[in-house]
Amino acid sequence: MSVLAGLALFLLLGAAARPAFAAAGDVVLMPDRDALMGSSIVVWGNTTHLNTDPFSLDFGDSSPVLAGVVGDQSYIATNHTYTAPGNYTVSLTIGGDTGTALVHVFDSGALNAENLRSIGINMAIEDGLRFLYVAQDNRAATFGTNKTSWTATRGFPS
């Protein structure tokens, strides 16, 4: 599945097409994505668990697992930097429920110009589609209701 198709599916399942009464315990993590070694990316997901439920986010690279409490069930996010190339399975766990995504990390010094450009384009698309998801005016208030809207003046969240 292409990056664009994967993110479109995530947006549909994670926000727009989720039934108003989604099953309790649903956890969805971002679509599989590309990253460059040494560059920060946003790792994100959402859940139908309560805003006060504890979560853990494992980046799959032996770095410390991030533990926290859900503050916005429609957008759980943090920045992470991978220090070595490879494929990493990221896991977001809340309650006994887990969502996973694969992050493909590349060493920019080992890529030719064409491949580096392609990965950069994929990363820009992934970040742009995340921006559209996050920039919805009423994302948190209408999460799971199939309703949304945007205002063009919103800033890009990290």
Prediction pTM value = 0.77
> Given this model, what pLDDT does residue 8 score?
45
The rounded distance, in Å, linking the Cα atoms of 43 and 57 is 9
Q: What one-character DSSP code corresponds to residue 130?
A: H
> Given this model, what pLDDT does residue 92 score?
97
Task: List per-residue pLDDT tens for the chain, 158 residues long.
Answer: 454 444 444 444 444 333 333 445 699 999 999 999 999 999 999 999 999 999 999 999 999 999 999 999 999 999 999 999 999 999 999 999 999 999 999 999 999 999 999 999 999 999 998 998 888 877 877 787 767 665 655 555 55
> Given this model, what pLDDT does residue 136 score?
80
The rounded distance, in Å, linking the Cα atoms of 40 and 38 is 7
Domains by residue range for the chain, with CATH: 3-137 (2.60.40.10)
CA angle in degrees (0–180, nearest 5) for 7-96-78: 45
Strands 33-36 and 97-106 turn out to be parallel
Torsion of CA 130, 136, 139, 143, to 10 degrees: -80
